[in-house]
Amino acid sequence: MESKINSKAILITFMIGAFFAILNETLLNIALTELMDVFNVDAPTVQWLATGFMLVMGILMPISALLIQSFTTRQMFIGVMTIFLMGTIIAGCAVNFPMLLAGRMIQAVGTGLLIPVIMNAMLLLYPPEVRGKIMGTFGLVIMFAPAIGPTLSGVIVDTLGWRWLFLAVIPFTLFSILFALKFLQNVGEITKPKVDTMSILLSTIGIGGLVYGFSSAGEAGNGLVSAEVLVYIIIGAISLIFFVLRQLKLEDPLLDMRVFQYKNYTLGVILFVIVVMAMFASEIVMPMYLQGPLGYSAKMAGLILLPGALLNGLLSPAMGMLFDKIGPRKLIIPGTFVLVCIMVFYSNINASIPMWAFILVYIVLMLTISAIMMPSQTNALNELPKHLYPHGTAISNTLQPISGALGVSIFVSILTGKSNQYLKDHNGQMTQSTVNDAMTYGVHHAYWFALTLCIIAFVVALFIKKAVSPDFDKTETEASS
């Protein structure tokens, strides 16, 4: 490792690359309707631009630990950004839907590998006492980019056309690669672990089956009743069970499950999964309710939720600095308690609640998520020894798309099932008032489930303690402030 490392230049490099890669996750969502007309495809087909992106990211996360230990930081970052650039160019020049989808999937390869690379490098660069601030600064990018994605996408599509959703990203991606070539230094060591093909195969089938199954169930709105969906989920679950059992026997596992021997890591992961489920589900259910019983347009629903999403990202650095000063408990325990209160509110909402109340509560929800997610994840990783950093980051990042897909699937399943039950109990009356009441009934039940999850999160939070890194050597790096 180099004796002196310019950590500030490295952090800037990471933030530039990550912003545009993560922005791309939500940039295309608002253009899906137009793309259906442009390429003459139906809704289930065009949805692959979103579902497929999440699927590829989920599949690649477990492999990231292997790649991080096999290549240098420069090779990984420049390589994944180059892959992302190739996908962006292909998508921007697409003349048919298969070409657009191929470009989108190539983009997902770059985005999926980028976050684990960055998180692992930051764990090596910065000592535990300042990691909250650094992770919070990076969290600004992770939260802010997808928050402005739909709004920015709407402006670009209306003024320049859908191709510019990709073409506008190309110069910034090129700049990121050139900046990295000049300033990015290597951190960590290459260990060249053995490649276990069976582990890769099992993880690919397992993660792919679960993410695709749960995503399909959520998008269809039919819950888990489809036999095809259940087959994907069952195959995915069985594959993951065999994957985990195999990792416990291997000398060089693809994902080292020994990370779960560390109590704070395990508790942090549980909290992370619950919060991701609640956040992803709320981002689906609330717009549906705002556009349903409340009668707001899609644009207005987006504007109502925008302040909370923006503040979630903007306050991430502040939460990080608070984490460094006061530790995780004083943020996570009150945060989970407030989260429980918010779910009580959502489980009793009705069409008479004014707009300002929705805006205010959603702001509090997103601020609460910011106070829980980053501190719990950073505290979890802080407890791991260095050789487990790639595995710890890979596992937590792997669980994000699974948790998001699972949360959306369960929430939408409950919402749809209970709404249909309400209509059936009212002899199938399809007046607008009855339909609105049915959706309200479904939303209440969905958030009762969320309330149960958040109560579990509050109990878990009570057992979290400030983690102490077992082997971090402050003299190994000279991280500039």
CATH 1.20.1250.20 fits 257-469, yes or no: yes
Cβ within 8 Å of residue 202, ≥6 positions away: 239, 240, 242, 243, 246
Distance, in Å, from the CA atom of 27 to the CA atom of 133, rounded to the nearest integer, reads 27
What's residue 476's pLDDT?
43
Half-sphere exposure of 183 (CA within 13 A, CB side): 16
Which residues, including other chains, have CB under 8 Å from residue 452's CB and lie 6 or more apart? none
- Give Cα separations from 99 to 59, 88, 168 (angstroms): 21, 11, 18
> CA-CA distance, 73 to 10, in Å (whole number)?
10
Entry pTM: 0.75
Q: Which fold would CATH assign to domain 1-192?
A: Growth Hormone; Chain: A; (1.20.1250)
What was the pLDDT predicted at 333? 94
Per-domain residue ranges of the chain? 1-192, 194-251, 257-469
Q: Which of 109, 93, 118 is nearest to 53 (CA)?
A: 109
8 A C-beta contact, residue 199 and residue 246: yes
DSSP string, 328-374: SHHHHHHHHHHHHHHHHHHTT--TTS-HHHHHHHHHHHHHHHHHHHH
Question: If you search the block for the tokens 């109502």, which residue do you land on?
Answer: 304
pLDDT in tens, the chain (481 residues): 344 667 777 878 888 888 888 777 767 766 777 788 888 887 667 777 877 887 888 788 888 878 888 888 888 889 999 999 999 999 999 999 999 999 999 998 988 888 888 888 887 777 777 777 787 777 777 777 776 776 677 778 778 888 988 998 899 889 888 888 888 877 767 777 787 889 889 988 988 888 788 777 655 555 555 777 788 889 999 999 999 899 888 888 888 888 898 999 999 999 988 888 877 667 677 777 887 788 877 667 767 877 887 787 778 778 888 888 888 899 999 999 999 999 999 989 888 888 888 889 988 988 898 888 888 888 888 888 888 888 888 888 778 777 777 777 778 778 878 888 888 887 766 787 888 888 888 889 889 988 999 999 999 999 998 877 665 544 444 443 3
Under DSSP, is residue 40 helix (H, G, I), strand (E, B) or coil?
coil
Query: What pLDDT sits at residue 471?
Result: 58
DSSP state of 93: T
One fold for both 1-192 and 257-469?
Answer: yes
> Cβ–Cβ contacts within 10 Å for residue 340, how many?
19
DSSP letter at 29 equals: G
CB contact at 8 A, 29 and 153: yes
